[in-house]
Amino acid sequence: MSETSAETKHPAHLHHHFVDSDQQFESSKMGMWIFLVTEILFFGGLFAAYIVYRAWYPELYLEASQELDAFWGAINTFVLIGSSLTVAMAIRSAQLNQIRGLIINLWITIGLACTFMVIKYFEYAEKLEKGIAPGIYYTYDGLEHEKANIFFSIYYMMTGLHGLHVIIGIGLMLWLVWKAKRGAYHSEYYTPVEITGLYWHLVDVIWIFLFPLLYLID
């Protein structure tokens, strides 16, 4: 408890129910970590479905994953890893009070995230064209396995949900840029940047699991 000085110097970013900035920062960070745990469990359900069906139809997975373009998948993996680096650099800039660097790094991250989504869009479009759609809309006849639609249902669920997280991440970072331009962040206060960064790393890590599990089966 910082004695009575708590009242005399009360920074603008500090909410009334926290004792000091440290406590606020630690709390926000812990909250984000716990939220990330829920995200992992959320995707965990899909991974469980993936594992169950892979155990039942291993040959289906071998066959169907040939339809996925490992080249563009790999490109996307690099794009996301790159964006994780730039988001980390954004946090570093904020710590060093380099607001311009913070904004530039955020823009690069947003750009990479958009690149990812564009590549994803072309992948989806190419498949849907062929009739590889989820569930009952599956009309492709290039695969012999009768359960082929289930593999692609799982594929669309996993990558779709991941894509949704990327879009949310883009939204969050646009908001960060907007706030940063208004001078909301500085070396004393950059909590939102830090926890958005944590979120972004998770989105990245999930993709790092999705890529080999879906694209690289053989």
Partner 1 sequence: MSTPEASTTKKVQVRRYKPEENPKEHYLNAEKGVWAWMTTIDHKKIGLLYLGSITFFFFVGGMLALLLRTELLTPAQSFIDADVYNQVFTLHGAIMIFFFLVPSVPAALGNFILPLQLGAKDVAFPRLNLASFYIYTIGTIFTLIAIFTGGIDTGWTFYTPYSTQTGTNVLLMTFGIFILGFSSILTGVNFIVTIHKLRAPGLTWNKLPLNVWALYATSIIQVLATPVLAITLLLLVMERALGIGVFDPSIGGDPVLFQHFFWFYSHPAVYIMIVPGFGVISEVISTFSRKVIFGYWAIALSSLAIAFIGFLVWGHHMFVAGQSSLASMVFSFLTFLVGIPTGIKIFNWLATMYKGSIDMKAPMLYAMVFLFLFTIGGFTGIMLGSLAVDIHLHDTYYVVAHFHYVMMGGMVMALLAGLHYWWPKMFGKMYSEFFARISCVIIFIGFNLAFLPQFVMGSQGMPRRYFNYIDQYQAFHQLSTIGAYIMAVGFVIMAGYMIHSLLRGKPASANPWGSRAMEWQTSSPAPHHNFEHIPVIINGPYDYHKPMSEFQLGIAHSTNGHQSFEKVDVNVKSAEEKA
Rounded to whole angstroms, the Cα distance separating 29 from 52 reads 34
- Pick from 10, 11, 30, 171: which binds partner 1 (CB under 8 A)? 30
Using CB under 8 A as the binding rule, whether residue 90 contacts partner 1 is answered as: no
SS3 string, 48-91, reads HHHHHHHHHCHHHHHHHHCCCCHHHHHHHHHHHHHHHHHHHHHH
Q: Which is nearer to partner 1, 20 or 69 (CB)?
A: 20
Q: Which is nearer to partner 1, 44 or 58 (CB)?
A: 44
Q: Which is nearer to partner 1, 23 or 187 (CB)?
A: 23
Secondary structure (DSSP) of 116-163: HHHHHHHHHHHHHHHT--SGGG----S---TTHHHHHHHHHHHHHHHH
Binding-residue total with partner 1 (CB under 8 A): 45
- Pick from 11, 58, 131, 135: which binds partner 1 (CB under 8 A)? 135
| Token representation of residue 180 | 């940063």
Choose among 39, 19, 13, 52: nearest CA to 187.
13
CB of 58 to partner 1, least distance (A): 16
Task: Give the 3-state secondary structure of residue 201.
Answer: helix
Q: Which is nearer to partner 1, 55 or 182 (CB)?
A: 55
Using CB under 8 A as the binding rule, whether residue 159 contacts partner 1 is answered as: no
- Pick from 65, 76, 77, 149: which binds partner 1 (CB under 8 A)? 149
Window 33 to 62, contacts with partner 1 (CB under 8 A): 34-35, 37-39, 41-46, 48-49, 52-53
**Cβ count near 143 (within 10 Å):** 18
Strand partners, 8: none
Q: Which is nearer to partner 1, 107 or 138 (CB)?
A: 138
Check: CB of residue 66 under 8 Å from CB of residue 99: no
Using CB under 8 A as the binding rule, whether residue 100 contacts partner 1 is answered as: no
CB of 125 to partner 1, least distance (A): 18
Where does this chain bind partner 1 (CB under 8 A)? 1-5, 15-20, 23, 26-28, 30-31, 34-35, 37-39, 41-46, 48-49, 52-53, 134-137, 146-147, 149-150, 153-154, 156-157, 161
